[in-house]
Chain A
Amino acid sequence: MTTDLGERLDASFDDGPPHRPVEERLAAGRRAVRRRRRWAIVGSVAVLAALSAGTVLLEPASGGGGGNDLPLPTPTSTVVPTPVHLLVAPARFVRSGAPAVLYLYGRMYRRDRDVTVLATFGEIDVAQHPQGAAIVRVDGRTWWVVVVGNEPRRLTEQREAPYDYQAFMSWASAEFPVMSARLALAAQAPGSTGSLSDSSG
């Protein structure tokens, strides 16, 4: 029965459409390795920063505000970056209010063709715990966007800001752990509906 079933399953569908070029797979792999190395560097810097901040936290608070908002950067470069190629998400998966970039099955997509992606940062293609950030231009305005989680269970933070990759990277790397924790907490919360979705600017 089992052998017969195996043979029948093997014959029950064909090989499908042509494959992507192997060069595309290689390029994606190289990008992933570069991201991993960047993350290692960012992680090291974050640890050093945390150690430095530890001494500050021991001091009495001297003023309100704060939070995790970093000051908006000023433009440091007039260089217009080459747009990053991200696929446009299939329309049937894009709900109203979707952010400019979003995750489907762990892959980051553009919401629609009006979104131009200027830069990306983070683990852009991650199946189980997707998190990534992008600098995008929509209708002539530039935004920083962080997305954590697959559609429709995701959290988004975005802000209008000039193109400054270093400042964007600092902001995004600070947002990732906060948002991941919020997503995990929301998923475990009693009465969670499984439709968590948030977007704030």
Chain B
Amino acid sequence: MRVDAREAAYVEFVTARETHLRRIAYAVCGDWDLADDLLQTALIRLYVAWPRVRHLGTEDAYVRRIIVRAHVDEHRQHHGPPHDQDATERTALFDALQALPAMQRKTVVLRHWLGLSVEETAEDLGISTASVRGHSSRALAALAGLPSREAR
């Protein structure tokens, strides 16, 4: 009975949040297949930790943190940037985001897209607030060269 209730709550959360969470993964890695794998890995760990995380009410943050801390960049070094075979809709801004170094990209995603504070961003990425400010500053400078409204 308790398992049923646990799984019902888990399914409710996954159904409601998986699109948003996978978009975070996609913004971090730029590849839908990889984003799906990242989300799946994070959701498996969430399932295991569900009673504790649910009790704290930090489900979104728990999954998000696993996604942004995943080691996707080591792979980029060896195989080059992943290419998106699905050819979905994305803009020059998104491509510019993907061209940023990993920590700058993740900082932009957390700080400027999701609207986390500097402290929250630092906590998610496991770095200092000063580092977050530095990454943020450099990333914004790099993105500043783009037209304000870019066409695809």
Q: Which residues of A contact B (CB under 8 A)?
A: 1-2, 4-6, 8-17, 19-20, 22, 25-26, 28-30, 32-33, 36, 90, 92-93, 104-107, 125-128, 150, 152-153, 194-195
Q: Point out the residues of chain A lying under 8 angstroms from B19, CB to CB.
A: 15-16, 19
Cβ contact within 8 Å between A14 and B48: no
Top 3 nearest A-B pairs by Cβ distance? A29-B47, A12-B94, A9-B113
Q: Point out the residues of chain A lying under 8 angstroms from B103, CB to CB.
A: none
Q: Which residues of B contact A (CB under 8 A)?
A: 7, 10-11, 14-15, 18-19, 22-23, 26-27, 32-38, 40-48, 50, 66, 69-72, 74-75, 77-79, 86, 88-91, 93-94, 97, 108-109, 111-115, 140, 143, 148-149
**How far apart sit A118 and B10, CA to CA, in the bound complex (Å)?**
30
Cβ contact within 8 Å between A12 and B48: no
**How far apart sit A9 and B149, CA to CA, in the bound complex (Å)?**
11
New A-B pairs, 12, CB < 8 Å, besides A9-B97, A11-B91, A28-B40: A1-B140, A8-B91, A9-B112, A12-B90, A12-B93, A15-B19, A19-B19, A29-B10, A33-B47, A105-B34, A107-B40, A150-B71
Shortest beta-carbon distance from A197 to chain B in Å: 11
Shortest beta-carbon distance from A150 to chain B in Å: 7
Cβ contact within 8 Å between B112 and A2: yes
Q: From known contacts A9-B27, A22-B11, A22-B15, infer whether A127 and B112 are also in contact, taking CB-CB under 8 Å.
A: no
**How far apart sit A101 and B110, CA to CA, in the bound complex (Å)?**
34
Q: Point out the residues of chain A lying under 8 angstroms from B37, CB to CB.
A: 104-105, 107
**How far apart sit A26 and B18, CA to CA, in the bound complex (Å)?**
13
**How far apart sit A93 and B80, CA to CA, in the bound complex (Å)?**
11
**How far apart sit A152 and B78, CA to CA, in the bound complex (Å)?**
8
Q: Point out the residues of chain A lying under 8 angstroms from B14, CB to CB.
A: 22, 25
Shortest beta-carbon distance from B151 to chain A in Å: 12
